[in-house]
Amino acid sequence: MDIAVIGTGYVGLVTGACLAELGHRVVCMDRDKEKISLLNNGVIPIYEKGLDELVARNVAAGRLRFTDRMIEAIRGAEAVFLAVGTPTAADGGAELSMIFEAAEQIAMVMESPLILIQKSTCPVGTSVEIERRVAAVLAKRGVQIPFHVVVNPEFLREGTAVTDFMQPDRVVIGADTAEVGERVAMLYEKIVPKERILLMDRASAEMTKYAANAFLATKISFINEIANLCELVGADIESVRRGIGTDTRIGPAFLAAGIGYGGSCFPKDVKALIKTGKDAGYQLRILESVDEVNRQQRIRQVEKVIQHFGGSLEGKRIAVWGLAFKPGTDDMREAPAIDVIHCLLREGAEVVAYDPIAMPQAQRVLDQRVRYASDALSCVDGADAVLLLTEWPEFLGLDLHLVAQKMATPVLFDFRNGFSPNRAYEAGLTYIGVGRKTKVSLKPITEPITSTK
């Protein structure tokens, strides 16, 4: 199929490159000329595992091209993916001007029948509004060209986006007719069995994307609240996580307690769904709490650091391991590190940070007072404490004896629960995690069961 993809952000670029890999002829379009010129010179503007080879291979094979001109992108195309940003608007809802603008531009230049595929995450009703706007532009042009708007949300995780695209759990397609839904389903038939292509109406497909992200975010805020309670009552969240995650009804995924979620999706989508609820006259109380718990979780961890140092961080040197919102990406959007570091600075601490790949991105958003180290070990040199904020394997594999030796006071705040507390104690570090027992027994617990209940 001849396909155009509008928007060469992380979703657009991955979608375009993967569809080309599947044998389709793809043109990726972005109005950002600089980005297109980088791509045309073989430079991938984002860090995503496997994407550079995928792009290079498909460009070389003549299946993938880049352009900054809409007319060139959609000429001869049968389907157009809309993969532009839908950031948070001032009122918490999704800002849809970019997707409407892209759809209207398409309508202004399209000459033949087209399926518009809404890939961007958009609130319920957006596809119908796109349809209305495209029809209005075509009417103004005085032409009658058949078109459809189909909703096909993405569930890609940064860092594993290429494999997530190529081996999806499911593909969700929302269409107004079964025929057009099946036409889009054909795009995926090589990578997913037919029974896992879920055809539905458009509103349900739009809602599915938000409900999926909101549910995963709920799991995270839930486990973080239980972790906070564990700290107060002397239970260990890692044991509790195993204890509940092995129940197949609950499942082990997204139950890692820590500093809370960040990134370009969860914070934005939870807020947008709350706004959709408000607009519809329904208060989504669980999600309001999910959002609030996530905000508080960052503050709570900084409070633990302040408390440890007797109420002030004045003159303390704090090392920060990890800046990106999660490992495997250089993305700093809504990264917990931003709030944490600003709080530390406000409390008078000196901050030295290190991240294997996100430092160039971090420098753009963090306070200029932050110093950057050249590696994980030099980062902790003379530090009064080290905070693990992103669980990169590079940190977790460090020799903690060396770490302890380098520090002025050997204190490890493991805000991703990435280390074994016992390993830290053995290395001479004071260990403070999230919801973990401050001192875990080295031997298996053999307490006799006294209760017969």
Instruction: Enumerate the active-site residues.
Output: 265
Residue 165 C-alpha from the chain's centroid: 15
CA distance 342 to 189: 47
Picking from 438, 377, 372, 373, the residue whose alpha carbon sits closest to that of residue 405 is 377
If binding is defined by CB under 6 A, does position 256 make contact with ligand UDX?
yes
Q: Which of 30, 158, 339, 355 binds ligand UDX (CB under 6 A)?
A: 158
Q: Which of 156, 162, 370, 403 binds ligand UDX (CB under 6 A)?
A: 156
Angle at 73 between CA 67 and CA 77, to 5 degrees: 150
Task: Tell me whether residue 157 is annotated as binding.
Answer: yes
Residue 7 near ligand UDX by CB under 6 A:
no
Among residues 165, 210, 325, 413, which is the contact residue for ligand UDX, using CB under 6 A? 325
Closest distance to ligand UDX from the beta carbon of 74 (Å): 25
3-state secondary structure of 339: helix
Shortest separation between residue 44's beta carbon and ligand UDX, angstroms = 17
| 155 belongs to the binding site for ligand UDX (CB under 6 A) | yes
Query: Is 156 within any annotated ligand binding site?
Result: yes
- Minimum distance, C-beta of residue 219 to ligand UDX, in the bound complex (Å): 7
Name the one range near ligand UDX by CB under 6 A: 182-190, 263-271, 280-288, 378-386: 263-271
Residue 158 C-alpha from the chain's centroid: 6
- Decide if residue 255 touches ligand UDX (CB under 6 A): yes
Cα–chain center distance at 342: 21
Closest separation in Å from C-beta 442 to ligand UDX: 27
**Neighbouring C-alpha atoms within 13 Å toward the C-beta of 186:** 13
Contact between residue 142 and residue 176 where contact means Cβ atoms under 8 Å apart: no
Choice between 116 and 220, CB closer to ligand UDX: 220
The torsion defined by the Cα of 180, 181, 183 and 189, in degrees rounded to 10, comes to: 180
Q: How far apart (Å, rounded) are the C-alpha atoms in residues 220 and 164?
A: 21
Query: In whole angstroms, how close is the CB of 190 to ligand UDX at the nearest point?
Result: 21
Residue 258 in the binding site for ligand UDX (CB under 6 A):
yes
CB 341 within 8 A of CB 351: yes
Q: Is residue 140 annotated as involved in ligand binding? A: no
157 interacts with ligand UDX by CB under 6 A: yes
Burial class (CB in 10 A: 0-12, 13-18, 19+), 43: exposed
- The CA distances from residue 441 to 64, 346, 425, 437, in Å, are 57, 37, 11, 9
Does the annotation place 453 within a ligand binding site? no
Nearest to 114 by CA among 138, 97, 98: 138
Residue 400: closest CA among 382, 421, 371: 421
Cβ distance to ligand UDX smaller for residue 68 or 206: 206
Is 208 known to sit in a ligand binding site?
A: no
Compose the 198-237 pattern: x for residues touching ligand UDX by CB under 6 A, - for all others: ---------------x--x---x-----------------
The residue range among 185-193, 195-203, 252-260, 298-306 that interacts with ligand UDX, by the rule CB under 6 A, is 252-260
Q: Does 321 bind ligand UDX (CB under 6 A)?
A: no
CA distance 388 to 418: 8
Asked if 81 interacts with ligand UDX (CB under 6 A), we say no
Instruction: Tell whether residue 46 is a contact of ligand UDX (CB under 6 A).
Output: no
CB atoms within 10 A of CB 365: 13
Phi, psi for residue 11 in degrees, rounded to 5: -70, -45
Q: How far is the CB of 141 from ligand UDX (least distance, A)?
A: 35
Residue from 125, 228, 254, 304 touching ligand UDX (CB under 6 A): that is: 254
Sequence ranges of the binding site for NAD(+): 30, 35, 86, 121, 158, 268, 333
* Binding positions for ligand UDX, rule: CB under 6 A: 154-158, 213, 216, 220, 254-256, 258, 261-263, 265-266, 325-326
Sequence ranges of the binding site: 30, 35, 86, 121, 155-158, 209, 254-258, 262, 268, 326, 333
Sequence ranges of the binding site for substrate: 155-158, 209, 254-258, 262, 326
